[in-house]
Chain A
Amino acid sequence: MTRALPILRRLGALLAVIVLSTFFLSCLLRLLPTDLVDMILSMGTPQEKAALRHTLYLDRDVFTSYIMWFSHFIRGDMGIIYGTGGGETVWSHVTRSLPISLLIMLYTQVFALVIAVPLGIFTAYRAGKKSDRAISNTLFTASSVPNFALAFLLIIVVGVKLKWLPTLEYVGFKENPFQHFKHLAIPCISLGVGLAASYTRLLRTDVIAALKDDYVTMAASKGLSDSRILLTHVFRPASVTLLTAAALNMGALIGGTLVIETIFAIPGFGFEIAYALGTKEFVALQSFIAITAIGYVIFNVTADLLIGVVDPRTRGSR
């Protein structure tokens, strides 16, 4: 009961954010410089245009049309891609492209964490020493390079010059797992290096602070080894911050993923958005952006809930 309440409150806030952002999009569609219907059916007869206006709920007032759109949207009925002559639904594009983007985000996070956890602990343990400074400075430099610049650098060096990794297109995991990872390596590394650097920095700060805590001295006074203390006493509390950062970064990662996908011609969600923008598929775009907003909110709420699981102090009290 007491535990369910904060979760319910969070879900309420989640719903509010989703409704507000999608309603805002709905209003924007009406404010386009050219009428949406004229744009899609520039050669259509008045009857055809009226029919389309009805399908797009544009013949109602803004609230009714929004509610109608939303009730269809949540059921997966998002209309069609008009450029394909009506042959393909928006939903089919979502189900095809969204998993690819989510995979890229997942791989990027895993890559960043796998790099950051050992480096963060190691640099904290050796804080101020040469090895710490060398690693910390390198990471700081690497993190100040923008994703797309790093992507181009890796394409040129690793892809074109050394020919180690492919730089274009996408291979599904089921088609060929090896090729799948090979094709996603450069995109995920380009996205993940900055994250890895910021995670390392976070973890390092946290571990340094934790190492000064009394419970670490207490653990030492039991006669435990340094490595045991680092892992069982220091890393766990420090990982709370790290996990929060990772979950919160999922939201921020959305933007980076969309850009990277267009660079590498990966048919993910970002590619779909860019395509919809370029071909003025505003009906599809409305749903794409709504999905992005929903993803963003869900990632943030999940972050909060995850913290509760890892840090018992926050359980129930939030």
Chain B
Amino acid sequence: MSDVQPMLSLRNFSVSFDTARGPLYAVRNVDIDVADGESLGIVGESGSGKTVLSRGAMGLLPKRAAHRSGTVIYDDHDLSTAPRDELRQYWGTGMAMIFQDPMTALNPVRKIGSQLTEGLRVRLQMNKHDAKTRGLELLHRVRIPDPEAVMEKYPFQLSGGMRQRVMIAIALACKPRLLFADEPTTALDVTVQAQVMQLLSELRHEMGMSMVIVTHDLGVVAGHTDRIAVMYAGEVVEIAPTKQLFANMQMPYTEALMKSIPRLDTPSGQRLPVISGRLPDPTQPEIGCSFASRCPYVTDKCRASAPPLVEVTPGHSYRCWFPIGGSR
């Protein structure tokens, strides 16, 4: 992506919140590019800042509570300083989002049909009839049986899998060039998860759109992304092309995530090795490496100073004083 201008480019992007306990640093100094047609995975455990990062990139965070810094460049436009009215021109068409929980992201008291078609009517100025036809097509496309009936239903009348498909249809309604999918399968049964990921991949290829898939499960994105960024405590700690990351991970946190991927041969019900310990307090930034408190390879140097982002091979960078591939 060095010679091609990326579609979306975050530079030194940070988000903090005002809380009772002082500023909470949710996202810290993130540099990420998303190229045209690319699929990027953002992986990290719950609380690592993935949702804040993706909402922040879109400009969807509440203005008053969230402080953003750094730049967000979409095509040639700097969105980090753009007023909400300008951002709105990109929402739905330039960028769209699938939200983490389809139960809370769909309005409980409005019918699926009106929630699906309102974007078409407002953003694409479709008339009622065309919007409905297009809405039915979309529902059909995300493999919802009996779209006519579903249009007339309320979210609570659908199963979790159906709700997630509806949300995908809504996000794709205005043919966005870039789709953020925030934990698109977390709320679903395991059997449905694979189907939904498959559907998203198909739709991405069909529509030629770029996609950012946010998940806490490295296994979910393995087969569906070109590159993966690993997030920990608000930072990108390793970023690499997907194959490269699996073959040659450098950062101990990536290794720990890798070990927690469920495998087909894992007897069901058996607990996977979880990473012991907790994320550091986001209101108390670490002086050293943010993973130091949980890292099996930690040394005094790690606690004393934070490792910078270094590049091993083109497109593969990590933060660690003692990378796994290197001499330890």
Contact = CB atoms under 8 A, between A and B. Distances in A.
B89 A311 contact: no
Given A223-B93, A224-B118, A217 B55 contact: yes
B106 A218 contact: yes
Interface in B98-153: 99-101, 104-110, 114, 118-119, 122-123
Contact of B118 (A221, A232, A240, A312): A232
Interface string A217-247: 1111111111010001100110010000000
Contacts of A232: 110, 114, 118
Given A220-B91, A221-B60, A223-B92, A214 B101 contact: yes
A161 interface: no
A222 B105 contact: no
Contacts of A221: 58, 60, 91-92, 96-97, 171
A213 interface: yes
24 contacts: A213-B104, A214-B99, A214-B105, A215-B105, A217-B60, A217-B99, A218-B105, A218-B106, A218-B107, A218-B170, A221-B60, A221-B91, A221-B96, A222-B91, A222-B92, A222-B118, A222-B123, A223-B119, A224-B119, A228-B122, A232-B114, A237-B108, A310-B109, A313-B108
Nearest to B62: A212
Nearest to A127: B64
Given A218-B170, A313-B108, 15 more contacts: A215-B107, A218-B105, A220-B88, A221-B97, A222-B123, A222-B174, A223-B93, A223-B174, A225-B122, A232-B114, A236-B110, A240-B109, A311-B109, A312-B109, A312-B154
Interface string B177-221: 000000000000000000000000000000000000000000000
Nearest to A210: B107
Interface residues of A, number: 23
A225 B84 CA distance: 10
Nearest to B97: A221
A215 B122 contact: no
Interface residues of B, number: 34
Contacts of A220: 60, 88, 91
B297 interface: no
Nearest to B108: A313
Nearest to B107: A215
Interface in B49-100: 55, 58, 60, 84, 88-93, 96-97, 99-100
Given A214-B105, A217-B55, A312-B154, A222 B122 contact: yes
Taking each of B110, B114, B171, which has the highest tally of chain A beta carbons within 10 Å of its own beta carbon? B110
Contacts of A311: 109
A215 to B, nearest CB: 4
Given A214-B99, A232-B118, A313-B154, A219 B107 contact: yes
A225 B106 CA distance: 17
A222 B92 CA distance: 4
Contacts of B110: 232-233, 236
A217 B180 CA distance: 14
Contacts of B96: 221-222
Contact of B88 (A214, A215, A223, A236): A223
Nearest to B180: A221
A223 B104 contact: no
Contacts of B173: 222
B97 A237 contact: no
A219 B93 CA distance: 13
B99 A225 contact: no
A225 B88 contact: yes
Contacts of B105: 214-215, 217-218
A233 B55 CA distance: 20
Nearest to A312: B154
B91 A223 contact: yes
Nearest to A233: B107
Nearest to A213: B104
A226 B171 CA distance: 18
Contacts of B118: 219, 222, 224, 232
